[in-house]
Structure 1
Amino acid sequence: MKAAAENGYPPAMMGFAATRIEKADLSSFRKWNEKAAASGYASAVFGYASYIGEAEPKYGFQSDPVKSYALLSNLLELDGGGNVINNVNDVLPEVEKKLSKEQLEKAKELAKTWKATHPPLSFFPDKLGY
């Protein structure tokens, strides 16, 4: 799992991150969760955005509701793919409540910047074949 994560396979990054939680290595968990999110792995983007959108984030993440809103809103473009839309529709309104009008505008700009500077969102589905 670690080798696959280190070689850039996003689902392995999240799998390896999960093993870090089991070992109470929160710093490594955060590192691999953020790397998987930055790779465009939709499930990781949702998890990371959900954590940082909380007033008191889990696992030692820093609260950043502006970035959370930006990332979650980008997931809306998946139009229900992977069933993540249901989770986004639950979390996004809660994050939005925490933002001022100015912060909301900043989040919308950050969403555009993130999309332009990161790989496209994907669920990295398994491939069949040899």
Structure 2
Amino acid sequence: MIEQIIISAVFTLLFSGAAIAQLTPEQQAAKDRGIALYKQSDWYDSQPLLKTAAEAGDRQAQYYLGEAIRLSNWHTTAEAKKWYEAAAEQGDLYSMLRLSNKYDLCKYMGTCNEKSGTEWRKLALKVGRERAEKGDTEAMTVLYIARQGLGWLEKAADAGDSYAQNLLAKVYRDGGGWFLIPGNRKKAVERWFKASAEGGNPDAMFSYVDFLYENNGTKKEMAYWLKKSAEGGYITGVSNYALRLAHLPDDVGYSLDLVTAYGLTYLLSKLEGGGTAAEDGQRNLPKIAEKMNELEIQEGIAFAKEWEKTHPPLSYFDPIFGY
């Protein structure tokens, strides 16, 4: 009975237009830094920063705080559930999906139950469809994630959503979807990676480079998109761009630029989040440094500091509704 009252209240909030949190400059800075750390898989240090904005009512910060807590504990704790609910009550569809997960370890930890999960799923699908029918591409993507059909993701991609385009290209690449003529699958993968890359998605830029490499693309095009991926902050793009600037190997035609290569690799070596970026950076630094003198190495470190000021934070660009 209590759960039904809660869900009813959520409906009221969603359709009465929940207020958007207005953050102070300090709260916004904390949110931005918290999300940046989260996207570097630093699920611990991101939490206090995200909490600053989440407590001020920011829906996005609430979702990512719930994610950071869940991932760092390997299940949805009571604290994570609190923040998912706060975001869901403001209409966040991804939070509704998290709350509807029947298979999370929280089921065995006493912090969630099947009945509330069923109600949250019904709400996510109801609100998602209403928004999707009005052209909301995020809602279309959520409906795909909620297993309502690949057609929703295709609609989001057709509508120009670069996130959906990148996801659709990966679905097709990995065998999803159905194509009468086999060659059409490859054409669709290329089409959507390129569209997403042109839409500004650094992850898609790198995936497009990989596609071009596997399908005899030109060095000029590969060099262009690899650089763009690095400039967009995609960690894998930065690593590969740096190695090719150092001619380790020289397979896309860049001029040798050891200072930039060292600087970017140095940045990666200092990451404190998850993943292997820091380890890879530390392993690659000596390979680049052996071609340099001490002055060039210092110039590389100075370059790294300037790059950090003028480019987006490094990111793995993991899916919004990921692990």
Would you say same fold, with TM above 0.5? yes
Name the structure 2 match of 1:60.
Answer: 253
Q: Give the counterpart letter for 2:268 in structure 1.
A: L
Whether the aligned pair in 1 keeps the contact of 2:234 and 2:314 (CA below 8 Å) is yes
Displacement, 1:24? 3.2
Residue in structure 1 matching 2:237, options 41, 44, 51? 44
User: Distance between the aligned counterparts of 1:36 and 1:85, measured in 2?
Assistant: 18
Name the structure 2 match of 1:92.
Answer: 285
Judged with a 3 Å threshold, the aligned counterparts in structure 2 of structure 1 residues 12 and 55 are, in CA distance, closer, same or farther, namely closer
Q: 39-48 or 80-89: which moved more? A: 80-89
Displacement, 1:99? 1.1
Q: Secondary structure at the match of 2:252?
A: helix
Cα RMSD over matched residues? Answer: 1.6
- Equivalent runs, 1:1-130 vs 2, <5 Å: 1-21=193-213, 22-54=215-247, 57-79=250-272, 81-128=274-321
Structure 1 gap ranges (5+): none
Whether the aligned pair in 1 keeps the contact of 2:239 and 2:265 (CA below 8 Å) is yes
Aligned identity (percent) is 31
Structure 2 gap ranges (5+): 1-192
Q: Secondary structure at the match of 1:81?
A: coil
User: Distance between the aligned counterparts of 1:55 and 1:122, measured in 2?
Assistant: 23
The alignment covers a number of residue pairs equal to 129
Structure-2-length-normalised TM-score = 0.38
Structure-1-length-normalised TM-score = 0.91
Higher relative contact order, structure no. (Cα contacts within 8 Å, ≥ 6 residues apart): 1
Judged with a 3 Å threshold, the aligned counterparts in structure 2 of structure 1 residues 46 and 54 are, in CA distance, closer, same or farther, namely same
User: Distance between the aligned counterparts of 1:50 and 1:11, measured in 2?
Assistant: 18
User: Distance between the aligned counterparts of 2:249 and 2:276, measured in 1?
Assistant: 26
List structure 1 segments (4+ residues) > 4 angstroms apart after TM superposition: none
User: Distance between the aligned counterparts of 2:318 and 2:248, measured in 1?
Assistant: 32
